[in-house]
Amino acid sequence: MGWSDPRIPYAEGVLSPLFAAAGDAFAANFADGLELGASFAVLIDDELVVDIRGGYSDRAKVHPWDESTLACIYSSGKAVVSLLIAHEVTNGRLDYDAPVAQYWPEFAAAGKERITLAHVLSHQAGLCGIAEEMPPETWLDWDAIIEKLAAMAPLWAPGTANGYHPQTVGFIAGELLRRVSGKSVGAMIADLTASSGLQLYCGMGAGEAARAAYMPKPPKAPDLGALNEYKTLAFLKPWSAPARVAREAWMAAELPASNMHGDARALASIIHPFVNGGKWRGDPYLDQNAIDAALAERIRGDDLVLPFHLSWAAGLMCNINHHFGPNERAFGHAGFGGSCVVVDPQNNLTAAYVMNKMSPHLVGDPRAVRLLDAVYARL
């Protein structure tokens, strides 16, 4: 199962012969000039059947993308947040249908007393961006953002429409996790990955940051479709995302919805409890009731922020648009620039694609779709 490919610089990894076509698809992405460096992993029934990587981690094309390389996965990390929430639901400390204010009383201000945890995770809370102008570096101040979200009025009637919350969903979910567990998202991930050899971080120290890949920005801005006030607040205001901060400060910050770093093996592995009966490294982590509730469709409709007709579960997209492979019964999430993660309970499969050459596709990046189609062709 050891794998290398002369068509890809520094290609290495593990590839089951059954999924040789995934290696060919990986090579095709490089041959078409679509990649600088990348990794792709698939687990089925707890077995790592694909774990391949190759290319370069730096601008000068000197340093290989190897097992130590980390890349920002942006919003693909929302799948990990969904897993952490399901764990706390399993433990009885959170309830998807309970009001957020039950755990965070200040959140009830300005008409938010009926917003539930499920509303937040399925992007129905009406809090897709911070309405009040602020310095963009404020995103690195957890307490300041939490105070703003607690005081803010919803931008639309909660529960009536879905509108993607690119940054704020991570703060709301992260604050709930902190209040019920006493730990931040980054600390909870560190607990999960301890002694596992897996590399996934929400907030990195200098040692981890030194291994982070250079990520060329997309050649053009993503197409958001016809603009409205919600898209503008979510993406286009000067304060819609962190800015005016040092790269090291950004990497060290815990921004759960947009700033996790890792590789494909870690990302595919850490979400595998969604499809293997809730086990993490052989031990119970999620119960089936929590899994079923996490993956239940919560809303379907034209998204107010993203230019797609979407179906949302509690933190993951239902795969109605085939953005995450051909199985409509699968789930997934994509990250800015092209990364993605797939959760497929029907096939006991999880998969992840992580890269550093960013594209303008909001979801359904053709590189990832090519890899996933190659895998599914052999199932």
In the chain the domains, ranked by start, together with CATH numbers, are: 2-376 (3.40.710.10)
pLDDT tens digits, residue range 78-106? 999 999 999 999 999 999 999 999 999 99
- The Cα 195–Cα 205 span in angstroms is 18
Helix (H, G, I), strand (E, B) or coil at 367: helix
- The Cα 306–Cα 375 span in angstroms is 27
Q: Would you state the structure tokens that stand for residue 338, as one six-digit string?
A: 């092209």
Q: Report the run of H or E that residue 366 belongs to, with start and end.
A: helix 366-376
Alpha carbon 77 to its chain centroid, in Å, reads 3
pLDDT tens digits, residue range 251-286? 999 999 999 999 999 999 999 999 999 999 999 999
pLDDT tens digits, residue range 331-371? 999 999 999 999 999 999 999 999 999 999 999 999 999 99
Mean pLDDT, residues 122-151 taken together: 98
Contact by Cβ (8 Å): 348, 276: yes
Long-range contacts of 361-364 (CB under 8 A, 24+ apart): 361/222, 361/334, 362/222, 362/223, 362/224, 362/306, 362/307, 362/308, 362/334, 362/336, 363/306, 363/308, 363/317, 363/321, 363/323, 363/334, 364/321, 364/322, 364/323, 364/324, 364/334
DSSP 3: E
Paired with 44 in beta bridges are 47, 349
Alpha carbon 118 to its chain centroid, in Å, reads 17
Averaged pLDDT of the chain: 97
Query: What proportion of the chain, given as a percentage, has pLDDT over 70?
Result: 100
